[in-house]
Amino acid sequence: CGVFGVVGLPEAANFVALGLHALQHRGQEAGGIVSHAPGIGFNSARRFGYVRDNFTKASLMETLPGHLAIGHVRYSTAGSKGHTQIRDVQPFFGEFSMGGAAIAHNGNITNADALRRELIDRGSIFQSSSDSECIIHLMARSLQRNIPERMKDALRRCEGAFSVVAMTRTKLIGVRDPLGVRPLVLGKLGDGWALSSETCALDIIGAEFVREIEPGEMVVITENEGVQSYFPFERRASRFCIFEHVYFSRPDSIIGGRSVYDTRRMIGVELAKEAPVDADLVCPVPDSGTPAAIGYSQESGIPYAMGIIRNQYMGRTFIEPTEQIRNMGVRLKLNVNRALIKGKRVILVDDSVVRGTTSRKIKEMILDAGAAEVHFRIASPPTSWPCFYGVDTPEREKLLAATMSEDEMCAHLGVNSLRFITLDGLYRAAGVPEGRDPAAPRYCDACFSGEYPVAPSDMLEKGFQL
Ligand code: 5GP
Ligand code: SF4
Ligand code: MG
């Protein structure tokens, strides 16, 4: 998901809509905005579909006045059952004795089932099936006298990944979990401030990137007093999601002082060193494989070419909830550039193999078009474990790499060769020259290593085997 918030700017909701539009790649199912204006109070709008189709209409935006607003773009993750209902669309809102508060959450709370059971037993009335709603109910039960303190109380009980943007009548609040699994950044525009999942959304409103919110940090921002910083959790070494660098974030964002584009290009460079192969062309599976393919071509000297053309009017296929639509999705979105491919030995670079649906379809299309050889090079290690921290991966059994070795996957996909970058190679590309330190890994890499930095307690209770 993507979160964005603004304080101290007139028509804040319009800035939030722009920010969410730039974060649309983080969630395409639905979006929501809450704003507050003195004398008017809180207003909210939640809609299915793209930000640009909903939050550009003057008739809707006029219902969201004020200098303070937050928003959320949603895609549902492993924990959520079935299809999104409008009541699952964030921000969530709660009314407390000291006033209202709205929250937007990116990540996944790994003990949400246990919290929900406890809260329901004690009288909470849940409105949605979302793990994020626990935060509001935990805040309601806190005895603290102000909302930031109640948020601290609530989040201290939450395990897992959370980057939260919240608001009261006067405050914009941002929090990252102690490991800083999901991103959150601070920006400044004139007299106003912005919080955003990624820097690309600060660019769109012309805000200056100030800094990242630190893992375990809470910032409370008001129009008059600016930014106050707190560290409400026990300090721990950070474990940012390495898959944000590989796939999830936009390549024009800056994360941890690094250009996401450059990290992806360096993954391609590492891949070319680790897994060279003689071929005529390096082609990306667009768009997610593009920077790595550029790096692979630069390092290998094999020409880069657009062997697969992407229909720009399709979203991210992975985000389509059902198997059938996902299968269709590949063909609706990607097509082979036949004139270029015929008779060629082609290296295809993609970011990841999850279920193998994309790779299998693409191999068929490219052989149909007359390619002489197909070599897959993948910009992440085999995905053999599910993510419980806010990236949508299927159950373990559906992950190709959970049941097959690399050779078996190669045979299953029917390609001439298949190689994945190593975890060390990925760490080097992501700015850790010495590679992955097994004693203290710099990143979360659980979907590749099976080492979960936070025990997924709900899942363990349901019988998930580590
Ligand atoms: P597969 O078809 O193997 O199931 O999924 C791989 C494709 O989905 C890749 O092309 C990649 O760009 C995209 N993808 C991989 N992992 C994720 C993920 O966790 N979330 C989303 N939204 N897309 C993914
Ligand atoms: Fe990121 Fe993978 Fe960790 Fe999930 S399990 S937070 S996708 S690195
Ligand atoms: Mg892709």
Kindly report the CATH number assigned to the domain that includes residue 390.
Answer: 3.40.50.2020
Count up the domains in the chain and report the number: 2
Higher pLDDT, 70 or 316: 70
Could you tell me if 158 and 42 lie in one domain? yes
Annotated catalytic residue within 1, 134, 241, 387: 1
The answer to whether residue 208 sits within a structural domain is yes
What average pLDDT is seen over the chain?
95
Could you tell me if 61 and 206 lie in one domain? yes
Average pLDDT over residues 203-211: 98
* 82 pLDDT higher than 70: no
**Which ligand 2 atom minimizes the distance to the CA of 453?**
3
What's the pLDDT score for residue 78? 44
CA 235 – CA 94 distance, rounded (Å): 29
- Element spanning 447, H or E: helix 446-449
Q: Check residue 317 and report its DSSP letter.
A: G
Report how far ligand 2's centroid is from the alpha carbon of 99 (Å): 36
Could you tell me if 33 and 120 lie in one domain? yes
Give the pLDDT band of residue 447 (cuts 50, 70, 90). very high
What's the pLDDT score for residue 73? 98
The answer to whether residue 253 sits within a structural domain is no
For residue 1, indicate whether it is catalytic.
yes
What's the pLDDT score for residue 326? 65
Share of the chain above pLDDT 90, in %: 91
Give the model confidence (pLDDT) of 108-117 as tens digits.
999 999 999 9
**Which ligand 2 atom minimizes the distance to the CA of 242?**
8
Domain range for residue 179?
Answer: 2-238
Give the pLDDT band of residue 76 (cuts 50, 70, 90). confident
Q: Which of 4, 330, 333 is nearest to 192 (CA)?
A: 4
What's the pLDDT score for residue 79? 45
Give the model confidence (pLDDT) of 335-356 as tens digits.
999 999 999 999 999 999 999 9
Report how far ligand 1's centroid is from the alpha carbon of 220 (Å): 35
CA 67 – CA 286 distance, rounded (Å): 39
Average pLDDT over residues 119-142: 97
* 90 pLDDT higher than 60: yes
What is the ipTM for the molecules in this complex? Answer: 0.93
Could you tell me if 216 and 339 lie in one domain? no
Phi-psi region of 337 (alpha: psi -120 to 50; beta: other; left: phi over 0): beta
| Single-letter residue type at 229 | S
3-state secondary structure of 158: coil
Q: Which of 84, 144, 132 is nearest to 107 (CA)?
A: 132
Higher pLDDT, 72 or 79: 72
The answer to whether residue 246 sits within a structural domain is no
In this structure, the residue with its CA closest to atom 24 of ligand 1 is: 318
* 197 pLDDT higher than 70: yes
8 A C-beta contact, residue 70 and residue 104: yes
Could you tell me if 6 and 113 lie in one domain? yes
**Bridge pairing between strands 185-189 and 208-212:** antiparallel
- The phi and psi torsions of 162 (rounded to 5 degrees) equal -150, 125
The answer to whether residue 245 sits within a structural domain is no
Higher pLDDT, 151 or 324: 151
Of 25-29, 75-79, 374-378, 437-441, the poorest mean pLDDT is in 75-79
The answer to whether residue 247 sits within a structural domain is no
CA 153 – CA 135 distance, rounded (Å): 9
Q: Which of 446, 420, 443, 421 is nearest to 432 (CA)?
A: 443
8 A C-beta contact, residue 373 and residue 416: yes
Spatial neighbors of 131 by CB under 8 A, at least 6 apart, are 79, 80, 105, 108, 109, 112, 116
CA 226 – CA 416 distance, rounded (Å): 58
What's the pLDDT score for residue 327? 67
In this structure, the residue with its CA closest to atom 5 of ligand 1 is: 354
Give the pLDDT band of residue 319 (cuts 50, 70, 90). low
Give the CATH number, domain containing residue 194: 3.60.20.10
Could you tell me if 216 and 263 lie in one domain? no
The answer to whether residue 397 sits within a structural domain is yes
CA 92 – CA 88 distance, rounded (Å): 9
Pocket mutation for ligand 2, best pick of 1, 108, 380, 391 (most atoms within 8 Å of C-beta): 391
HSE-up of residue 379 (Cα within 13 Å, Cβ side): 35
